[in-house]
Amino acid sequence: MRLRSLGIALATAAALVTIPSQASATAAEAPPSRGSTATSAAADCSTANAAQGKPATASSEENAGTPAASAFDGNTGTRWSSQFADPQWVRVDLGSVQDICKVDLNWEAAHGKDFTIQTSADGQNWTTLKSVTNGTGGTASYDVSGSGRYVRIHGTARGTGYGYSLWEVAVHTGTGGTPPVEGGGDLGPNVIVVDPNTPNLQGRFDQVFAQQESNQFGSGRYQFLLKPGTYNGINAQLGFYTSISGLGLNPDDVKINGDITVDAGWFNGNATQNFWRSAENLSLRPVNGTDRWAVAQAAPFRRIHVEGGLNLAPAGYGWASGGYIADSKIDGTVGPYSQQQWYTRDSSVGGWTNGVWNMTFTGVQGAPATNFDSGPYTTLDTTPVSREKPFLYLEGNNYRVFVPGKRTNARGVSWPANAGGTSLPLSQFYVVKPGATAATINTALAQGLNLLFTPGVYHLDRTIDVNRANTVVLGLGLATIVPDNGVDAMHVGDVDGVKLAGFLIDAGAAKSDTLLQVGAPGSAADHAANPTTVQDVFIRIGGAGPGLATHSMVVNSDDAIIDHTWIWRADHGEGVGWETNRADYGLEVNGDDVLATGLFVEHFNKYDVVWSGERGRTIFFQNEKAYDVPNAAAVTHDGIVGYAAYKVADSVSTHEAWGLGSYCNFTSDPSIVQHHGFQVPVKSGVKLHSIQVISLGGKGQYRHVVNDTGAPTSGSDTIPSKITSFP
Q: Strands (DSSP E) along 6-55, which ranges?
A: none
Contact 71, 59 (CB under 8 A): no
When pLDDT is cut at 50, 70 and 90, the band that residue 98 belongs to is confident
State pLDDT tens for residues 632-681: 999 999 999 999 999 999 999 999 999 999 999 999 999 999 999 999 99
Tell me the whole-structure pTM to 2 decimals: 0.81
- What percent of the chain lies above the pLDDT cut of 70? 94
Pairing mode, if any, of strands 56-58 and 112-120? Answer: unpaired
In 3D space, the residue among 477, 500, 536, 567 whose CA is nearest the CA of residue 300 turns out to be: 536
The enclosing H or E element of 203 equals: helix 201-212
When pLDDT is cut at 50, 70 and 90, the band that residue 177 belongs to is low
pLDDT of residue 44: 82
pLDDT at 107 exceeding the cut of 70: yes
State pLDDT tens for residues 377-393: 999 999 999 999 999 99
List beta partners, residue 56: 92
Catalytic residue among 62, 574, 624, 656: 624
Please count the helices (runs of H) and the strands (runs of E) in the chain. 2, 49
pLDDT of residue 692: 98
Catalytic, 624? Answer yes
CA gap 658, 688 in Å, rounded:
6
Contact 409, 383 (CB under 8 A): yes
pLDDT of residue 178: 57
CA gap 140, 580 in Å, rounded:
57
Interval 569-596 mean pLDDT = 98
CA gap 540, 508 in Å, rounded:
10
Please give the mean pLDDT across all residues of the chain. 92
pLDDT at 21 exceeding the cut of 50: no
Domains recognised in the chain with CATH numbers: 45-174 (2.60.120.260), 191-354 (2.160.20.10), 625-638+651-726 (no CATH)
pLDDT of residue 175: 63
In 3D space, the residue among 209, 225, 288 whose CA is nearest the CA of residue 16 turns out to be: 209
In 3D space, the residue among 625, 613, 438, 652 whose CA is nearest the CA of residue 518 turns out to be: 613
Interval 358-384 mean pLDDT = 98
CA gap 80, 37 in Å, rounded:
28
State pLDDT tens for residues 319-356: 999 899 999 999 999 999 999 999 999 999 999 999 99
pLDDT of residue 279: 98
pLDDT at 2 exceeding the cut of 60: no
Pairing mode, if any, of strands 609-611 and 616-624? Answer: unpaired
- What percent of the chain lies above the pLDDT cut of 90? 90
Angle at 457 between CA 456 and CA 461, to 5 degrees: 135
